[in-house]
Amino acid sequence: MRLLVMKRIACAALLLLAALTTTGCWNRIELNEVAITSATGIDWDGENWIVSYQVVIPAAISSVTGGSGGGGPKSPIIVYSTKGKTIRDAIMHSFSESPRKLFFAHNRVVVIGEKAMNRGINELIDVYFRNSGSRETVSVLATPGTARKILEQFMQLQAISGAGMKEIIISEMKNTSILPNIPVYQLAMELTGDAKSAVVPEIFVSGSGDTSSLDSFSNTSIPSKLKLGRLAVLKDDKMIGWMSRKESLGAAYLRDSVQQSFIVVPCEGGEGKKGYDTIQILKSSTKIIPKLRGSKLTFTADVDVSGTLLESNCAQDLYKPGVIQGLEQGGQVQISSLLQDAWKKGQQMNTDIFGAAEKVHRKYPKQWKEWGKNWDEVFKEAPLETKIKFRMARMGLSNKSFQYLMDKREK
Amino acid sequence: MPNDDKTTKQYENEAPKKETKPEQVLIPDLDINIERLHRFLGGGADIVCRTLQHRSFDNARYALLYIDGIVDGIGLNTMLLGLLDDANRYIEGGVESSLYHHLTERVIANGKLGEVNSINKACYAMLEGSTILVVDGSLRAIIIDTTGGKSRAVEEPSSQTVVRGPKEGFTENLRTNTSLIRRIIKSPDLRFDYKMIGHQTRTNIAIVYLEGIAEVEVIKEVHRRLDAIDIDGVLESGYIEEFIQDRAFTPFPLLQNTERPDAACAGILEGQVIIMVSGTPFVLQAPVTFVKFFQSSEDYYQRYDIATFLRIIRMTSFFISMLLPSLYIAITTFHQEMLPTSLLISLAAQREGIPFPALLEAFLMEITFEILREAGVRMPRIIGPAISIVGALVLGQAAVQAGIISAAMVIVVSFTAIASFVIPAVNMGVAARLIRFLLMILAGTFGLFGIMSGLMILLAHMCGLRSFGKPYLMPFAPFVASNLKDVLIRVPWWAMRTRPTNIASDKNITRAGAGQKPSPDQEGV
C-alpha cells in the first residue's frame, strides 16, 4: 500500500519534470536584467537593415529614488542602433553592446523609415509572427526620414516617446479617425488580402530642429514635435506613395474605420456673409456594395452617419427643420466629395486599399476568377457612387446660433 | 447508542484507563482505611483528613478525606457543620448499615453522592475534587461531590472577537463549559457523553451533540477514535485533535476549534459533534468542511448582505495570503509581458541595484516577517512597541533605502501578512502560510507553470481529505447545491431553511419554516 503511494508520487513528480521540457526554454530573467524596449525603428541603408531601439531607463523615469543619487535631469530613454543582413541578425548584434537583454514584449510602436518602406517590409512581418517575444498588436508607423530620428525625439507630457506615439495614434483614431491605427497583424492581413494593399500612418518631426535633448524642456515651447501626418499606401509590401490627410479621411470612411470624426460645412450667413458649421460625427458605418451593370463593375458606398453640431457661426435658427435639412445636405455633399477624392486617388495610385476586392470576391466569386488576375485594371475603371444618409442628432445646448441672436438685436 | 450505559456513565465513577496499582478494597477498620488512602496518594500536605465522632454514639466514628484546593470550601464547611450538628439517633441495629444509611439519607446536604468499595476508586474520586466519607465498620465509602476551587471566570474570548454577538468565552473548567452550552441549547435532546483520557492527567472529556440531528455514524466514530487514544496526558484539545483527525499528513486542519460557546452551539445545531477537553477553553468541532473555516460567528449576527461581502473578502484574503508572493515572483521573473508597461517600469526601477533575485528577496522578507510575528507572540507585552519599531522602520524602510529589498516586495509581503490575519480560523491561516513557502519555491523555479501545478496537486490532495468521513471540499466536491446557501454567500435566515445536508443527519434537516420572508402586504398586518 505504502509502496503504491510512493510509486504514485514518484510518477507525478516525473510527469511534472517531463512537462518542464515542453515549455521550450528556460526563461527565468530578473527585472534588472532586461532592457525594456518601448519603440523599435527599422531602416534600410541599401544593403543592411538598421534596427534602432528606444530603451527605457526605469530608474530615471520612476519617482522612486532607488539608490541612485540626485544630479541633473536624466534622460528616461536611450536610443541605439545595430546593423545586420537581416532584422534578427541586427538584433543579435545588440548583445555585443547592451548590458541587458532586449525585451520586446512591451514594445509599443515600430517605426519604419521611408527607404525600408520602399524596399519592402515582408521580413519585418515574418519576424513578428515567428517570435513569441514581440506582440502583433504593435502599431506600425511610417516616417519620411529615418526611423532612428523619430525614436530620438522627446515628447511633451510622456517621458517614453514610444508609448506616447502609440497613445497619439490611438487617441487620433478615436477622436478624428483621419489615420487608422495599424497593428502588425492587421498590416499582414491586408497585405495578404485580395487587393494586396495596405496603409500605414505617417509620423514625422514637425518644426525646426529636434527635441532629442532634455534641455528643450526648460522652455515653455519645444522646438519640434512628433506629429501624425499623411497616410502611406503600400502595395505588395512596398510603399508606393502618400495620401493627403483629406484623402486619408475619405479612405477612412470607405474602409469603415471612422469611430468619431468631424466635418466643416460651409453655410450661408445671410447678407452674403460666409460662415462654417462644425459637425462632429458621432457614428458612422459604411458598406461598399459592388454591382454589375452589364459587364461593368460599379461600386456603391452606403454611408450612414449621425452627428452633432459643435460650432456655428452663421445666423441660423435651428428651430426650423429646413435649416437642419440644409446642414444635413451640406454634410452629405462634404462626405461624398471626401469619398470620391479618396477613391480617385486610390485609382490613380492603382491600389485598392478600401477592401473593395474582398467585397467583389465574395459577391461575384465566379467573375472574380477572371478579375482577380488583373484586379488593378478592373479597379481602375470601376466608378464609385455614394449614397449618404446624414442625420443631425443633436444641436448642442443652444438652438439659435449666437450670430442669429446678434443679428436679431440689430434689427 | 446515546442511551447506552457506557456512554452516559458519569465520568467520576469511571475506572482509569490503565490501572497500574493493585486494587485494594475497603475493610471495616477505619484507621487502616485512612492509612491506606493516605499511602495510596503518597501522603501529601494537601491531603486533609478529618476524623469525626458522632455526638450521640462513641463507637460511631467516620472520617472525611479530601484534597485541599480542588474542593469547594464553602460547600465542604456546610457539610461538616451538618455532620457535627447531627444529634439524631439513628435506628438501632447493625452499626454498619444503619450509620452509613443514616448519613447518606438524612445528614449530608449535598446533591451528588456516590459510593465505592475500593481504595483506588476512592482516591481517584478525591483527585477529581470529591470528598470521601469513610465510615468505621463499613465496607463502603461515600463519595461527596465537592468539586470546586479556584478557576478562571467566564471572560470575553481573546482569540475570536466579534463586534456584535455574545461576549462569553469558554474557560478551563469543563463543568462551566458544559453549563454554557446548556444555557444556550435548552433541548432535552442535548447529549453529553463523558470520557477520561490520559493515564496520568486523567483528563475529562465531554462529547456534546444533539440527538437526532447529529449523525449517528459520526457520534459512533468520535467515540471509537477517542476510545482508541492511549496517552499519559492530555493538556489541551490539540493533543486529541492530532489523534483523531482523518489523515496525519496534511497542512489543512481537519477539525475546527472555537473558544466561543455560541459558535460551538451553532455547530451543534448544524449537526456537528463537539469535543470538550477539561483544562482548555478551546473545544473541537467535527466534522468540518473547508468552507467552515471562513465562516465567522459574526456572519450570522450581522445582516446577510454585509456577511456575504465579508465572506468573499475572507476567501480572497486566503488566496492572497497563499499566492501573492509567488505570483509576484513568477510574473516579475518569468512573465514580464503580463504586466502593464507603466507598472513594469516602476517595478523595474525599484529593482535597480537590488543584489538578490526576486525569489531570494521574497524569502528574506517572508522569513523576516515570520520571525517578527513569532517574536511578537513570545515576547513580554511591555516590549511590544519596540518590536514594531524595529520591524517597520529598521527592517522595512531601512532595507528599502539601503537597496537590499525593493519597495514593491515590502508591499507584497506586508499585504500578504495582513491578508493572512483576515482568515477567522487561525489554523487555516497557518495552512496558507506553509503552502505559501512551497509555492514561492515553485514560482521561482517554474514560474506560473509551477504555481499552477502546485495548486493542482493541492486541489487533488484536498479532494482526498475527509473529516470524520465527510468530504472536505463539500459542497463543491461532491457538489451539493442546497449547501451553497452558506458558503460564498450567506442567505438571510428566513431562506436558510435546511441544515447542511451530509453533515447533519438526513432525517432531520428542516431548520426554519417556509414563507417567513418579510413583506409589507402580509395578511392581517
Q: For position A326, what pLDDT does the model report?
A: 87
Alpha helices in B9-131 (DSSP H): 30-41, 73-85, 95-102, 119-128
Across the interface, do B353 and A34 touch by the CB < 8 Å criterion? no
Query: Are the beta carbons of B11 and B204 closer than 8 angstroms?
Result: yes
What DSSP designation does B103 have?
Answer: I
Least confident of A234-238, A351-355, B106-110, B367-371: B106-110
Q: For position A25, what pLDDT does the model report?
A: 47
Residues B286-325 pLDDT 10s: 899 999 999 999 999 999 999 999 999 999 999 999 999 9
Above 80 in pLDDT, residue A331?
Answer: yes
Higher pLDDT pick, A25 / A136: A136
Q: For position B170, what pLDDT does the model report?
A: 95
Instruction: Choose, out of A11, A30, A109, the residue to mutate when testing the contact with B (most B CBs < 10 Å).
Output: A30
Write down the ipTM of this complex.
Answer: 0.82
Instruction: Choose, out of A17, A32, A166, the residue to mutate when testing the contact with B (most B CBs < 10 Å).
Output: A32
Q: For position A64, what pLDDT does the model report?
A: 40
Residue window 439-458, chain B: list those with CB within 8 Å of chain A.
444-447, 449, 453, 457
DSSP β-bridge partners for residue B133: B64, B142
- For residue A18, which phi and psi values (nearest 5 degrees)? -65, -35
Higher pLDDT pick, A272 / A368: A368
Q: And the C-alpha cell for B484?
A: 451553497
Mean pLDDT of B244-260: 93
Least confident of A271-280, B250-259, B388-397: B388-397
Residues A235, A240, A241, A243, Cα dihedral to 10°: -10
Query: Are the beta carbons of A118 and A46 closer than 8 angstroms?
Result: no
Residues A96-108 pLDDT 10s: 998 898 999 899 9
CA distance A20 to chain B (A): 8
Above 50 in pLDDT, residue B2?
Answer: no
Q: And the C-alpha cell for B426?
A: 487561525
B352 interfaces chain A, CB cutoff of 8 Å: yes
Higher pLDDT pick, B87 / B335: B335
Across the interface, do A36 and B403 touch by the CB < 8 Å criterion? no
Q: Taking CB atoms and an 8 Å cutoff, what residues of chain A touch B333?
A: 28-31
Residues B346-371 pLDDT 10s: 898 888 888 899 999 999 999 988 98
Q: Taking CB atoms and an 8 Å cutoff, what residues of chain B touch A30?
A: 332-333, 351, 357-358
Higher pLDDT pick, B7 / A339: A339
- Give the burial string for A213-222 (b: 16+ CB within 10 Å, else e): eeebeeeeeb
How sure is the predictor about A51, in pLDDT bands with cuts at 50, 70 and 90? very high
Above 90 in pLDDT, residue B21?
Answer: no
Mean pLDDT of B17-31: 76
The 3-state DSSP composition of chain A as helix, strand, coil percent (nearest 5) reads 40, 30, 30
Residue B172, number of CB atoms within 10 A of its CB: 15
Nearest Cβ partner for B407 among A59, A64, A106: A64
How sure is the predictor about A68, in pLDDT bands with cuts at 50, 70 and 90? very low
Q: Taking CB atoms and an 8 Å cutoff, what residues of chain A touch B443?
A: none
Mean pLDDT of A226-230: 92
Q: For position B1, what pLDDT does the model report?
A: 38
Across the interface, do B346 and A64 touch by the CB < 8 Å criterion? yes
Q: Taking CB atoms and an 8 Å cutoff, what residues of chain A touch B447?
A: 27-28
Residues B386-432 pLDDT 10s: 877 877 777 778 888 888 889 899 999 999 999 999 998 989 999 99
Residues B84-124 pLDDT 10s: 777 666 555 555 456 777 777 777 777 788 888 888 888 88
Mean pLDDT of B15-27: 69
Measure the CA–CA gap between A98 and A78, rounded to whole angstroms: 11
Higher pLDDT pick, A111 / A381: A111
Least confident of A153-162, A319-328, B46-55, B87-96: B87-96
Going by C-alpha positions, the residue among B266, B286, B263, B291 that lies closest to residue B275 is B286
Q: For position B317, what pLDDT does the model report?
A: 95
The pTM for the full model equals: 0.84
Collect all residues from A whose CB is shorter than 8 A from any CB in B.
Answer: 12, 16, 19-20, 23, 27-32, 34, 36, 38, 56, 58-59, 61-62, 64, 66-68, 103, 105-106, 108, 135, 160, 163
Above 60 in pLDDT, residue A69?
Answer: no
Q: How far is CA B343 from CA A5, A29, B332, in A?
A: 45, 17, 11
Can you spell out the DSSP letters for A52-87? Answer: EEEEE-HHHHSSS--S----S---SEEEEEEEESSH
Higher pLDDT pick, A150 / A9: A150
Q: Taking CB atoms and an 8 Å cutoff, what residues of chain B touch A66?
A: 349-353, 403, 406
Three-state secondary structure call for residue A201: strand
Q: Taking CB atoms and an 8 Å cutoff, what residues of chain B touch A32?
A: 348, 351-354
Going by C-alpha positions, the residue among A101, A97, A123, A96 that lies closest to residue A112 is A123
Helix (H) or strand (E) holding B267: helix B261-269
Q: Measured in whole angstroms, how far is the alpha carbon of residue A402 from the centre of its chain? A: 38
For a pLDDT cut of 70, what percent of chain B falls above it? 93
Q: Taking CB atoms and an 8 Å cutoff, what residues of chain B touch A24?
A: none
Q: Taking CB atoms and an 8 Å cutoff, what residues of chain A touch B345?
A: 36, 56, 58, 61-62, 160
Mean pLDDT of B322-336: 93
CA distance B25 to chain A (A): 50
Mean pLDDT of chain B: 86
Q: Taking CB atoms and an 8 Å cutoff, what residues of chain B touch A67?
A: 352-353, 403
Least confident of B94-103, B200-209, B514-523: B94-103
Q: Return the beta strands (E) in A115-209 as ranges.
A: 139-143, 197-207
Measure the CA–CA gap between B148 and B243, rounded to whole angstroms: 30
Above 50 in pLDDT, residue A24?
Answer: no
Instruction: Choose, out of A28, A103, A158, A166, the residue to mutate when testing the contact with B (most B CBs < 10 Å).
Output: A28
Above 70 in pLDDT, residue B11?
Answer: no
Across the interface, do B403 and A67 touch by the CB < 8 Å criterion? yes
Residue of chain B minimizing CA distance to A38:
B341
**Do the strands A109-113 and A34-44 form a parallel or antiparallel pair, or are they unpaired?**
parallel
B403 interfaces chain A, CB cutoff of 8 Å: yes
Q: For position B89, what pLDDT does the model report?
A: 61
Q: Measured in whole angstroms, how far is the alpha carbon of residue A391 from the centre of its chain? A: 28
Across the interface, do B449 and A19 touch by the CB < 8 Å criterion? yes
B350 interfaces chain A, CB cutoff of 8 Å: yes
CA distance A83 to chain B (A): 26
Residue window 192-211, chain B: list those with CB within 8 Å of chain A.
none
Q: Measured in whole angstroms, how far is the alpha carbon of residue B96 from the centre of its chain? A: 47
Three-state secondary structure call for residue B438: helix
Measure the CA–CA gap between B71 and B45, rounded to whole angstroms: 15
Residue of chain B minimizing CA distance to A58:
B349
Q: For position A275, what pLDDT does the model report?
A: 84
Three-state secondary structure call for residue B66: strand
Map out the domains of chain A with their CATH numbers: 29-243 (no CATH), 246-411 (3.30.300.210)
Across the interface, do A62 and B407 touch by the CB < 8 Å criterion? no
How sure is the predictor about A23, in pLDDT bands with cuts at 50, 70 and 90? low
Measure the CA–CA gap between A360 and A289, rounded to whole angstroms: 8
Least confident of A57-71, A231-245, B189-203, B319-333: A57-71
Measure the CA–CA gap between B238 and B429, rounded to whole angstroms: 16
Nearest Cβ partner for B352 among A32, A106, A108: A32
Q: Taking CB atoms and an 8 Å cutoff, what residues of chain B touch A22?
A: none
Q: For residue A352, how many C-alpha atoms fall within 13 Å in the half-sphere facing its CB?
A: 25
Nearest Cβ partner for B345 among A29, A61, A67: A61
Nearest Cβ partner for A67 among B332, B352, B449: B352
B351 interfaces chain A, CB cutoff of 8 Å: yes
Residue of chain A minimizing CA distance to B357:
A30
Above 70 in pLDDT, residue A21?
Answer: no
Residue of chain A minimizing CA distance to B348:
A31
Mean pLDDT of A349-362: 90
Above 80 in pLDDT, residue A17?
Answer: no
